[in-house]
Amino acid sequence: MTVCTLVPHNITTHYPVQANVPESWGQWLNEYDWSHYCTLTFQREATIDGASRQFHRFVRRLERRNQRAVTWFMVIERGGGGWLHIHSLLGATNTLPNKSVDLAWPAGRTDVQTYDSQRGASHYITKAITSESVYWDISKNLKATHR
């Protein structure tokens, strides 16, 4: 087993890497206490920078509603039609109903689900993590929700 180092936003995270990198990511993400799994789309075509900014605004809205910090992992990828969409895992949002999370995203359609570690969202979100066309990011306070 090899250890890989990732540096999102100057945070170094060590995790085990096996032969299947997306599977390893999914296992690693499943070690955290997530509350929601979301798919977020855009009404208009977006750039990766624009999508990332919209996601960070979304998190700030959730933090105001939640009255505490939210942990998150997100992946921006292109769908079949070539438009960007975001998959995200949210932690520390367990007091927010799905509808409240949904209403915090004004940029397009949403699919918000209560996170269930048995349903595979942590693996699905990382299915294309090694693709050059995928952008991912992670919250700086992720350690707060480690099981």
Structural contact between residues 89 and 34, judged by C-beta atoms closer than 8 angstroms: yes
Report the pLDDT averaged over residues 72-78.
Answer: 95
User: What average pLDDT does the structure give for the chain?
Assistant: 86
Max Cα-Cα span within the chain:
43
Per-residue tokens: 36: 């929601």
Q: Could you tell me if 76 and 86 are in contact, meaning their C-beta atoms sit under 8 angstroms apart? A: yes
More confident residue, 143 or 140: 140
pLDDT of residue 99: 98
Regarding pTM above 0.85, the answer is: no
Task: Name beta bridge partners: 91.
Answer: 34, 71
Give me the amino acid identity at 2: T
User: Using one digit for the tens of pLDDT, what is the confidence trace for 99-133?
Assistant: 999 999 999 999 999 999 999 999 999 888 888 88
* One-letter-per-residue 3-state SS of 34-61: EEEEEEECCCCCCCHHHHHHHHHHHHHH
- Cβ distance 34 to 47 under 8 Å? no
Beta carbons within 8 Å of 38's beta carbon, 6+ residues apart: 86, 87, 88, 89, 90, 101, 105, 110, 111, 112, 113
- pLDDT of residue 81 exceeding 50, the answer is yes
Q: Is the per-residue pLDDT at 23 higher than 70?
A: yes
How many whole angstroms separate alpha carbon 46 and alpha carbon 52?
10
Q: How confident is the model at residue 144 (pLDDT cuts 50, 70, 90)?
A: low
Residue 10 above 70 pLDDT? no
Q: Using an 8 Å Cβ cutoff, are 43 and 108 in contact?
A: yes
Q: Give residue 32's pLDDT.
A: 93
* pLDDT, position 46: 94
pLDDT at 94 over 90: yes
The CATH T-level fold of domain 29-145 is Alpha-Beta Plaits (3.30.70)
